[in-house]
């Protein structure tokens, strides 16, 4: 019953990668879909949080001020399937020194105009050392990663969690019995049991909407397209281009997170463009699916079992022979 | 057997073994319920097109209805404005409209009662009608100082910015018909200074551009606005520009979510923006970096100013004409040189002189708020002043400007604003580099600019700069005045404002406007479309009074009540406190939280005979008598309060049809999706049925005071189970009709002989061809980016105003890159991406004859067709009361003296009203100044909406920002012992409040005049009611107003901050009294009289 990783099922996917939907018996599945969350354009409005709650009719879950910047949601949970993190940083001058190059237009130099008189700051003053605000405010909308190798799915004993035809991971609340095995299994701490209910809940990537050809509620609402939804392959291409563009524009810290099919979870179905280390956003730097080696372990176990059985058989035979010999 | 197979088939293990899912975690695990999953939007009976009811971005919404219930609300992907997206508030509209927080039952609180009791709707309506008539009769005034006023000062109304245009229209029409002049709405409190500032500069008081056009900007300066937080979905157009390589600059006292997305943030001291902008203007002028060809042709730079004019440079900080007794200017000396030279040119020309005399030197007339009447028609000035095309004449506007701003050096900017020179110069360089033929820069502002005692001049400063840089009327340029309510632009255009009639016609003043002729003649210009004001005015009177309006009775002009001074919302509160105003309507507005000096607001309401509150929930303005802050302190006792309070539950935007005018000046129609439940009704219903009742009660009356009510046209068709009046019928009346009843296609068809009628001339065309143009919805993907087939923009469906200026004087585009509207010689027409905001077919080289007046007097290179001289005004020779050029003065409450004009800390003509409830702080050079050492600035958060009535009751929004807080720098926290996450108490001479503390590096201490100045940010959304509660920031704010627009100063005040929670009960006023004692505060503290006095010491 185990979903194998990098084993036979992995070889069935394109380019040697797992194709989670096809590998789990969905005939002619649509392309795997996902989220690309580009935090460099996130304005921290939390429309994603609200649109998610409205669509999925999730309850409000707490009215206390966290004093963690503008983050009063604090984390993903059973009733919070999108969470916007706010990170306030003090950094050296963030103002760029050059105008980002316009697309297909003449670029104009920045200082073609002579400065006003002698008063306009010809001489170096201490003001030279105090340019713009030395602050950076990172905002990032977090969500279930819909891992290629999903530990929650692997450990679910009831079949409540399943891999959809879209390659996403969804909890079926009519099946879930609230055992909670999935909770510690998740390397991101995403899935959670609702206290008054016991069952586990998390982002479904709006499974119901996907079935009707609609995009997830959060992606639809996002005012700046920080949350992009689409076929994962396309998103990965787009994300790579975006990182290149940011690097060119003088944002060397831009990097992708969760996009790599070779990472510890086989790549995320929801991946991110970050402007700092993942830990800064509260994301694990190197997530590992705890069930990563489950297949190999099963095979080992099976082998060991066989060996044991063989050994037992041999031993029994030997014993029998010995007995026989003694007799 | 088949059942068995089906049952077997539902068994995952069977499917795992027999199907294609050996893992048992995919298809095999799918439960029957999962298999049946469908989105609820698939099951809806209908999808109704709507518009988000929160801010003025005007995002399109789709309302899904099933079994006559709204089951989902999402963004409308067709909308060219929002492209299907919504912010958290927009995303929470399902909860707003269908949630349990909404009331559906009328409530009544009897005088002195401790409780509400329920009341049936019909009885409640009858009771209100009875009270309106009684109060009106008891307080009726025929005359004031010997001239006709025909009004009641006993009744007032506040609210309209959250309502539909049609609702505002009926409110204004009915209340004006009743003789009520104290009609106000949030537009006073939010953007009235925008109308005065933009209107006098360009001829219209709305944003010059539309949000989507920001994507074409090469540089965007966001100043006085927290765009990303307050208008998140509109901010996508800034992000589009940024993605294309545009420079985005945020200039603001606080580092906000907008700053986080900008290329760089410039922190500046709240209240110092004019000094900053003046510095940029100086930079442009000193370097001759202005767009000279544009400036010479399209602005009044070449006009010569009167020899009598004296600048602040000549008079040590004030302009000529100041009367130090009344604190008003006589603006006569500000006019152009030799204004009446064209007196021979036409009979209409001397009008200019009469107007000048009307406003000059008469403080009572000035108080009537005439500056706002330039919302769609400039101030009166000479049509053809003397010019010096070389711009070298010492009295030409260009040179006047240069001298005026010579003082605003980078050093002074640094000293006053706390902005380091290098950073200031970077802004100057970015703006100059990104303006000109090939490039354009845009300015975006909001209430960070408007809410100052010099608010109109803040807007003017940006207007001057954008004219100098040649950025007005061009793609990617302009000034976007971000409005904050769904229809706050509409509630200015169809004004629920005391000083205006629809289309920015002035409410008549008892002395200046004694008959129709003097009213019209003192308003209209000699040149351009505002010359035709008589046609607009007569058509309005025809729309309101129908057949009763005839030429021989001045079209019922005398039915209009008269102003005698300021009757703005703060004057109303004072009138309530003084017992003159006895009845009050609150329609979708919550002044007990949202207006300045909220304690004064509540104390005023406690003196009322009756109060009508129409809202979704029991907001603070409805419950102050029961559980308000003054009940807790013991200042008021419920049993002592004689006010009757009526609560009427309001219908939501999904339950009524109507139009909102968004910040683009676009009228967008929203369709009713369902009927409102219980007693909830639209404001259209409320006003219509109230009016119907009043007219029935007065039927047959021969009392002359009832004539205006009886003559009011009030025959709107009603439909549905609640007899809802037809909003489309109201819109048709607004649009106007011709001689044969046909809908007019634009305002040029209006006549002054009574043959046409029109409820709001600038909206004429919205029902062109008998079609509701506001309901046009061609998807953005199916048309050009100007989206001319989506909704309808005033005026005449033009999207970028003054777009004649997007072409050079010869009619060709300034550059290919910035081509927008240009002259097409073969067709002899202006063509391009938009309807030309110009005279159709008027050739670029046209020069009118000296005898021409009105539209015929416009030249082919006069892009500002509502202006008296056809030009953009760098210098305002008339129309403003506090000077022809923006000048830096300190806010009413400021910790520093004026670094430019030490003898005039504050504007010499700002409006003050010191009274026990509204004391000012000592000026920086008065004793006691140190008691309130910190600057406070109020602001918004994305997660809440204005005074909270539409967000603090929403669980989804409240959990995102659950508590009131203040933001302070680590340095200030250390100085005052404030703990992150702990409590602080903020104190002013008005009140004291408590807030949780966020210590953050985003609050940046500034060096101003060589000393460290701390600023504290306080969001103003909270109050004691709802799910998320807290003290109201507006408790701290004094009422001190801009003289042009009467807007209050919320954005820069002073306070003290101390650790810990505020005292409870009677100890709270004692704390405030103790502070007042320490600061030595009296009625004279901070007054202009004292300013003048200390100057003479």
Read out DSSP for B88-140? HHHHTHHHHHHSTT---S-EEE-TT-SS-EE--HHHHHHHHHHHHHHHHHHHE
Higher-scoring residue by pLDDT: B256, A313: B256
Question: Does residue B202 lie in a domain region?
Answer: no
Read out DSSP for A33-58? EEEEEEGGG-----HHHHHHHHHHTP
Question: What pLDDT is recorded for position A129?
Answer: 43
Is A55 touching B (CB cutoff 8 A)? Answer: yes
pLDDT tens for B1036-1051 read 999 999 999 999 999 9
pLDDT tens for B734-780 read 999 998 999 999 999 999 999 999 999 999 999 999 999 999 999 99
Query: Is A246 in contact with A40 (CB distance < 8 Å)?
Result: yes
Q: Do B423 and A111 touch (CB under 8 A)?
A: no
Q: How far is CA B1000 from CA A129, B97, B224, B487, B509, in A?
A: 22, 36, 21, 35, 51
Considering only CB atoms, B91 lies closest to which of A111, A165, A221, namely A221
**Interface residue of A20, A22, A47, A125 to substitute, partner B, most B CBs within 10 Å:** A47
Helix (H) or strand (E) holding A10: helix A8-12
**Interface residue of B18, B34, B246, B440 to substitute, partner A, most A CBs within 10 Å:** B34
B316 and B354 fall within a common domain: yes
Query: Is B687 in contact with B171 (CB distance < 8 Å)?
Result: yes
Is A169 touching B (CB cutoff 8 A)? Answer: no
B227 Cα to chain A: minimum distance (Å): 10
Question: Does residue B899 lie in a domain region?
Answer: no
Question: What is the SS3 assignment for B434?
Answer: coil
* Alpha carbons B1038 and A135: distance in angstroms, whole number: 32
User: What residues contact residue B229 under an 8 Å CB cut-off, 6+ apart?
Assistant: A43, A45, B256, B257, B258, B940, B941, B942
Using alpha carbons, select from B767, B681, B668 the residue that is nearest to residue B52: B668
Is the confidence at residue A17, as pLDDT, over 90?
Answer: no
Split at pLDDT 50, 70, 90, the class of A292 is low
- Which residues of chain B have a CB within 8 Å of the CB of A170? 34
Using alpha carbons, select from B965, B914, B850 the residue that is nearest to residue B1085: B914
Question: What pLDDT is recorded for position A89?
Answer: 95
Using alpha carbons, select from B40, B312, B261, B185 the residue that is nearest to residue B902: B312
Q: Do B37 and A207 touch (CB under 8 A)?
A: yes
- Cα-to-chain-centroid distance, residue B806: 27
Question: What pLDDT is recorded for position A139?
Answer: 98
B979 and B837 fall within a common domain: no
Closest chain A residue to B234 measured between Cα atoms?
Answer: A223
B175 and B282 fall within a common domain: no
Is the confidence at residue B357, as pLDDT, over 70?
Answer: no
Question: Does residue B952 lie in a domain region?
Answer: yes
B407 Cα to chain A: minimum distance (Å): 11
**pTM score, whole prediction:** 0.94
Is the confidence at residue A226, as pLDDT, over 50?
Answer: yes
CA dihedral of residues B872, B877, B879, B883 (deg, nearest 10): 110
Range of the domain at B928: 911-1096
B615 and B734 fall within a common domain: yes
- Which residues of chain B have a CB within 8 Å of the CB of A212? 38-39, 41-42
Give residue limits of the domains in chain A: 8-94+133-291, 293-327
Is A322 touching B (CB cutoff 8 A)? Answer: no
- Cα-to-chain-centroid distance, residue B757: 27
Instruction: Say how many CB pairs under 8 Å bridge A and B.
Output: 316
Split at pLDDT 50, 70, 90, the class of B358 is very low
Is the confidence at residue B111, as pLDDT, over 80?
Answer: yes
Q: How many CA atoms lie within 13 A of A222 on its CB side?
A: 28
Total domain count, chain B: 5
Question: What pLDDT is recorded for position B364?
Answer: 73
Is the confidence at residue A312, as pLDDT, over 80?
Answer: no
Question: Does residue B773 lie in a domain region?
Answer: no
Question: What pLDDT is recorded for position B3?
Answer: 72
pLDDT tens for B656-713 read 999 999 999 999 999 999 999 999 999 999 999 999 999 999 999 999 999 999 999 9
Q: Mean per-residue pLDDT for B820-830? A: 98
Query: Is B921 in contact with B932 (CB distance < 8 Å)?
Result: yes
User: Which one is the CATH code of A8-94+133-291: 3.30.70.20, 3.40.50.12780, 3.40.50.360, 3.40.190.80?
Assistant: 3.30.70.20
Is the confidence at residue A128, as pLDDT, over 50?
Answer: no
Question: What pLDDT is recorded for position A322?
Answer: 58
Is B363 touching A (CB cutoff 8 A)? Answer: no
Is A244 touching B (CB cutoff 8 A)? Answer: no
Question: What pLDDT is recorded for position B318?
Answer: 98
Is B491 touching A (CB cutoff 8 A)? Answer: no
Number of helical (H) and strand (E) elements in chain B, helices listed first: 36, 37
Is A104 touching B (CB cutoff 8 A)? Answer: no
pLDDT tens for A133-153 read 689 999 999 999 999 999 999
Q: For A154, which DSSP code?
A: H
- CATH of residue B975's domain is 2.40.40.20
Question: Does residue B604 lie in a domain region?
Answer: yes
Helix (H) or strand (E) holding B14: helix B12-18
Question: Does residue B275 lie in a domain region?
Answer: yes
Question: What pLDDT is recorded for position B299?
Answer: 98
Q: Do B255 and A135 touch (CB under 8 A)?
A: yes
A165 Cα to chain B: minimum distance (Å): 8
Considering only CB atoms, B1027 lies closest to which of A41, A63, A131, namely A63
How many Cβ atoms are within 10 Å of B911's Cβ, its own excluded?
25
β B441-445/B219-223 pair status: parallel
Closest chain A residue to B264 measured between Cα atoms?
Answer: A95
Helix (H) or strand (E) holding B707: helix B707-711
A195-204, B888-897, B963-972, B1082-1091: segment of lowest average pLDDT: B1082-1091
Number of helical (H) and strand (E) elements in chain A, helices listed first: 9, 10
Q: Do A72 and B289 touch (CB under 8 A)?
A: no
Query: Is B416 in contact with B897 (CB distance < 8 Å)?
Result: no
Q: For residues A52-75, b (16+ Cβ closer than 10 Å) or e, as one string?
A: bbbbbebebbebebebebbbbbee
Question: What pLDDT is recorded for position A99?
Answer: 41
A279 Cα to chain B: minimum distance (Å): 20
Is B289 touching A (CB cutoff 8 A)? Answer: yes
- CATH of residue B583's domain is 3.40.50.740
Q: Do A41 and B261 touch (CB under 8 A)?
A: yes
pLDDT tens for B182-240 read 999 999 999 999 999 999 999 999 999 999 999 999 999 999 999 999 999 999 999 99
- Which residues of chain B have a CB within 8 Å of the CB of A99? 245, 247, 430, 433
Q: Do A25 and B287 touch (CB under 8 A)?
A: no
Q: Do A137 and B1004 touch (CB under 8 A)?
A: no
Q: Write down which residue in B48, B71, B98 finishes a domain.
A: B98
Question: Does residue B129 lie in a domain region?
Answer: yes
CA dihedral of residues B724, B622, B1024, B937 (deg, nearest 10): 80
Question: Does residue B718 lie in a domain region?
Answer: yes
Is residue B552 packed enough to be buried (19+ CB in 10 Å), middle (13-18) or exposed (0-12)? exposed
B405 Cα to chain A: minimum distance (Å): 13
Is the confidence at residue A304, as pLDDT, over 70?
Answer: no
CA dihedral of residues B461, B466, B468, B474 (deg, nearest 10): -160
Q: Write down which residue in B761, B791, B815 finishes a domain.
A: B761
Q: Taking all residues of chain B, what is their mean pLDDT, rounded to a whole number?
A: 95
With a CB-CB cutoff of 8 Å, which residues 62-121 of chain B face chain A? Answer: 72-75, 84-92, 94-95
B226 Cα to chain A: minimum distance (Å): 11
B925 and B878 fall within a common domain: no
Q: Do A1 and B23 touch (CB under 8 A)?
A: yes
B707 and B567 fall within a common domain: yes
B718 and B583 fall within a common domain: yes
* Alpha carbons A71 and A60: distance in angstroms, whole number: 15
**Interface residue of B959, B996, B1019 to substitute, partner A, most A CBs within 10 Å:** B959
How many Cβ atoms are within 10 Å of B748's Cβ, its own excluded?
16
How much of chain A, in percent, has pLDDT values that exceed 70?
A: 71
pLDDT tens for B689-703 read 999 999 999 999 999
Question: What pLDDT is recorded for position A323?
Answer: 56
Considering only CB atoms, A223 lies closest to which of B232, B247, B266, namely B232
Is B927 touching A (CB cutoff 8 A)? Answer: no
User: What residues contact residue B398 under an 8 Å CB cut-off, 6+ apart?
Assistant: B285, B295, B301, B302, B391, B874
Is A198 touching B (CB cutoff 8 A)? Answer: no
Is B962 touching A (CB cutoff 8 A)? Answer: yes
B264 and B305 fall within a common domain: yes
pLDDT tens for B852-884 read 999 999 999 999 999 999 999 999 999 999 999
pLDDT tens for B618-631 read 999 999 999 999 99
Split at pLDDT 50, 70, 90, the class of B394 is very high
B960 Cα to chain A: minimum distance (Å): 6
Closest chain A residue to B34 measured between Cα atoms?
Answer: A172
Looking at B288-447, which runs of residues are DSSP E strands?
A: 322-323, 328-329, 441-445
Is the confidence at residue A122, as pLDDT, over 50?
Answer: no
Considering only CB atoms, A223 lies closest to which of B25, B235, B1001, namely B235
Question: What pLDDT is recorded for position B742?
Answer: 96
Is B267 touching A (CB cutoff 8 A)? Answer: yes
With a CB-CB cutoff of 8 Å, which residues 206-245 of chain B face chain A? Answer: 218, 228-229, 232-233, 235-236, 239, 242, 244-245
Is the confidence at residue B832, as pLDDT, over 50?
Answer: yes
**Interface residue of B19, B93, B422, B999 to substitute, partner A, most A CBs within 10 Å:** B422
Q: Mean per-residue pLDDT for A45-68? A: 96
* Alpha carbons B36 and B17: distance in angstroms, whole number: 23
**In three state form, how does the secondary structure of B283-308 look?**
HHHHCCCCCHHHHHHHEHHHEEECCC
B454 and B541 fall within a common domain: no
Q: Do A54 and B72 touch (CB under 8 A)?
A: yes
């Amino acid at each position: 019953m185990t979903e194998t990783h990098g084993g036979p099922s992995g070889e069935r996917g394109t380019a040697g990668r797992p194709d989670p939907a096809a590998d789990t018996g969905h005939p002619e599945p649509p392309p795997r879909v996902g989220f690309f969350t580009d935090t460099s354009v996130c304005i921290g409005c939390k429309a994603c949080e609200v649109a998610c709650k409205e669509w999925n009719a999730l309850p409000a879950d707490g009215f206390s001020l966290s004093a963690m910047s503008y983050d009063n949601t604090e984390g993903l949970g059973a009733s919070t399937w999108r969470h916007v993190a706010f990170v306030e940083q003090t950094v050296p001058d963030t103002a760029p020194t050059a105008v980002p190059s316009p697309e297909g237009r003449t670029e104009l130099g920045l200082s073609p105009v002579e400065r006003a008189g002698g008063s306009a700051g010809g001489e170096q003053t201490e003001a030279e050392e105090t340019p713009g605000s030395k602050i950076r405010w990172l905002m990032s909308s977090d969500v279930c990663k819909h891992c290629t190798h999903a530990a929650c799915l692997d450990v679910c004993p009831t079949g409540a969690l399943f891999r959809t035809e879209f390659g996403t991971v969804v909890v079926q609340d009519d099946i879930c019995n609230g055992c909670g095995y999935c909770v510690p299994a998740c390397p991101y701490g995403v899935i959670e049991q609702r206290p008054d209910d016991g069952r586990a809940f998390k982002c479904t990537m709006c499974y119901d909407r996907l079935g009707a050809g609609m995009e997830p509620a959060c992606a639809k609402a996002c005012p700046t397209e920080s949350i992009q939804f689409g076929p994962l392959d396309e998103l990965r291409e787009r994300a790579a281009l975006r990182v290149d563009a940011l690097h060119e524009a003088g944002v060397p810290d831009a990097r992708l997170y969760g996009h790599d099919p070779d990472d510890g979870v086989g790549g995320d179905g929801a991946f991110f463009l970050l402007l700092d280390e993942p830990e800064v956003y509260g994301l694990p730097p190197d997530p590992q699916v705890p069930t990563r080696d489950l297949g190999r372990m099963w095979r080992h176990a099976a082998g060991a079992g066989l060996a044991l059985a063989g050994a037992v058989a041999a031993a029994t035979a030997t014993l029998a022979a010995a007995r026989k010999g003694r007799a | 057997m088949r059942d068995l197979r089906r049952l077997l088939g539902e068994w995952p293990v069977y499917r795992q073994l027999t199907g294609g899912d050996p893992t048992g975690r995919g298809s095999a695990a799918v439960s029957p319920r999962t298999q049946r999953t469908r989105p609820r939007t698939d099951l809806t009976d209908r999808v109704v097109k709507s518009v988000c009811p929160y801010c003025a971005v005007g995002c399109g919404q789709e309302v899904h209805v099933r079994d006559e219930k709204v089951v989902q609300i999402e963004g409308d992907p067709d909308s060219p404005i929002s492209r299907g997206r919504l912010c958290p508030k927009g995303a929470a509209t399902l909860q707003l409209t269908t949630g349990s927080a909404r009331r559906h039952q009328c409530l009544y609180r009897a005088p002195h009662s401790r409780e509400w009791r329920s009341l049936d709707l019909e009885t409640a309506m009858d009771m209100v009608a009875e009270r309106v008539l009684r109060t009106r009769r008891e307080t009726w005034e025929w005359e004031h100082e010997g001239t006709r006023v025909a009004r009641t000062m006993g009744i007032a109304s506040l609210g309209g910015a959250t309502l539909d245009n049609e609702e505002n229209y009926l409110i204004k029409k009915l209340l004006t018909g009743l003789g009520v002049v104290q009609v106000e709405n949030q537009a006073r409190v939010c953007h009235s200074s925008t109308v005065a500032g933009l209107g006098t500069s360009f001829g219209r008081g709305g944003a010059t551009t539309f949000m989507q056009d920001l994507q074409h900007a090469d540089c965007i300066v966001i100043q006085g606005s927290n765009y990303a937080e307050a208008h998140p979905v509109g901010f996508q157009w800034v992000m589009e520009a940024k993605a294309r390589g545009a420079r985005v600059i945020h200039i603001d006292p606080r580092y906000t979510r907008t700053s986080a997305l900008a290329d760089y943030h410039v922190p500046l001291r709240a209240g110092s923006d004019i000094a900053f902008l003046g510095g940029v203007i100086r930079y442009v002028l000193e370097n001759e970096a202005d767009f000279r060809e544009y400036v010479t042709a399209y602005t009044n730079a070449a006009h010569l100013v009167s020899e009598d004019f004296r600048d602040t440079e000549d008079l040590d900080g004030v302009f000529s004409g100041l009367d130090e007794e009344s604190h008003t200017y006589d603006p006569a000396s500000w006019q152009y040189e030799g204004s009446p030279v064209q007196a021979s040119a036409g009979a209409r020309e001397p009008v200019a002189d009469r107007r000048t005399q009307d406003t000059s030197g008469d403080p009572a007339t000035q108080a009537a708020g005439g500056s706002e009447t330039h919302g769609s028609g400039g101030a009166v000035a000479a049509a053809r002043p003397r010019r010096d095309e070389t711009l070298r004449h010492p009295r030409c506007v260009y040179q006047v400007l240069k001298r005026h701003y010579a003082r605003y050096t980078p050093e002074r900017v640094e000293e006053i604003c706390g902005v380091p020179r290098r950073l200031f110069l970077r802004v100057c360089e970015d703006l100059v580099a990104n303006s000109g033929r090939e490039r354009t820069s845009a300015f975006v502002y909001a209430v960070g600019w408007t809410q100052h005692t010099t608010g109109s001049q803040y807007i003017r400063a940006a207007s001057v700069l954008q004219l100098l840089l040649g950025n007005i009327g061009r793609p990617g340029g302009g000034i976007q005045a971000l409005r904050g309510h769904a229809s706050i632009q509409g509630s200015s255009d169809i004004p629920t404002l005391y000083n205006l009639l629809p289309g920015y016609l002035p409410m008549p003043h008892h002395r200046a406007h004694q008959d129709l002729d003097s009213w019209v003649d003192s308003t209209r210009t000699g040149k351009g479309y505002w010359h035709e004001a008589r046609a607009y005015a007569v058509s309005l009177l025809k729309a309101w009074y129908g057949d009763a309006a005839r030429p021989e009775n001045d079209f019922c002009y005398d039915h209009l009540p008269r102003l005698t001074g300021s009757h703005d919302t703060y004057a109303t509160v004072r009138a309530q406190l003084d017992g003159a105003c006895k009845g009050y309507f609150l329609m979708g507005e919550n002044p007990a939280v949202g207006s300045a000096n909220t304690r004064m607001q509540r104390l005023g309401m406690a003196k009322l005979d009756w109060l009508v509150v129409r809202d979704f929930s029991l907001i603070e303005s409805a419950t102050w008598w029961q559980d308000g802050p003054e009940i807790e302190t013991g200042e008021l006792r419920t049993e002592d309060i004689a006010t009757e309070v009526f609560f009427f539950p309001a219908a939501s935007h999904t339950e009524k049809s109507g139009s909102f005018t968004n910040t683009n000046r676009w009228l967008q129609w929203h369709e009713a999706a369902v009927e409102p439940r219980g007693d909830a009704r639209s404001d259209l219903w409320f006003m219509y049925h109230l009016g119907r009742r009043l007219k029935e009660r007065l039927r047959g009356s021969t009392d002359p005071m009832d004539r205006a009510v009886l003559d009011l046209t009030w025959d709107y068709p009603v439909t549905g189970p609640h007899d809802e009046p037809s909003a489309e019928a109201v819109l048709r009346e607004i649009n106007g009709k011709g001689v044969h009843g046909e809908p007019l296609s634009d305002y040029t068809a209006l006549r002054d002989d009574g043959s046409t009628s029109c409820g709001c001339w600038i909206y004429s065309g919205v029902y062109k061809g008998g079609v509701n143009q506001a309901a046009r919805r061609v998807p953005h993907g199916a048309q050009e980016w100007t989206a001319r087939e989506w909704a309808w923009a005033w005026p005449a469906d033009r999207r970028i105003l003054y777009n004649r200026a997007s072409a050079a004087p010869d009619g060709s585009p300034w550059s290919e890159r910035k081509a927008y509207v240009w002259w097409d010689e073969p067709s002899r027409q202006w063509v391009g991406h938009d309807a030309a905001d110009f005279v159709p077919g008027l050739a670029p080289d046209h020069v009118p004859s000296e005898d021409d007046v009105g539209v015929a007097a416009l030249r082919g290179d006069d892009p500002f067709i509502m202006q008296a001289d056809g030009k953009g005004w760098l210098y305002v020779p008339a129309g403003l009361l506090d000077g022809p050029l923006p000048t830096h003065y300190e806010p009413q409450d400021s910790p520093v003296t004026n670094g430019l004009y030490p003898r005039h800390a504050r504007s010499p003509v700002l409006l003050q009203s010191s009274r026990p409830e509204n004391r000012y702080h000592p000026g920086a050079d008065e004793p006691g100044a140190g008691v309130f050492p910190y600057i406070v600035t109020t602001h918004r958060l994305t997660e809440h909406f204005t005074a909270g009535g539409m967000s603090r009751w929403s669980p989804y929004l409240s959990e995102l920002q659950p508590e009131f807080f203040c933001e302070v720098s680590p340095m200030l926290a250390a100085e005052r012992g404030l703990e992150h996450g702990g409590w602080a108490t903020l104190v002013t001479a008005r009140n004291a409040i408590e807030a949780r503390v966020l210590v953050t590096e985003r609050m940046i201490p500034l060096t101003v005049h060589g000393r460290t100045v701390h600023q504290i940010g306080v969001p103003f959304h909270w109050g004691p009611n709802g799910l998320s509660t807290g003290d109201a920031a507006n408790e701290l704010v004094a009422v001190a107003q801009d003289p042009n627009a009467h807007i209050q100063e919320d954005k820069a005040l002073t306070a003290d901050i101390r650790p810990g929670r505020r005292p409870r009960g009677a100890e709270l006023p004692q704390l405030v009294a103790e502070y007042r004692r320490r600061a030595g505060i009296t009625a004279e503290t901070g007054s202009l009289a004292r300013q003048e006095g200390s100057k003479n010491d």
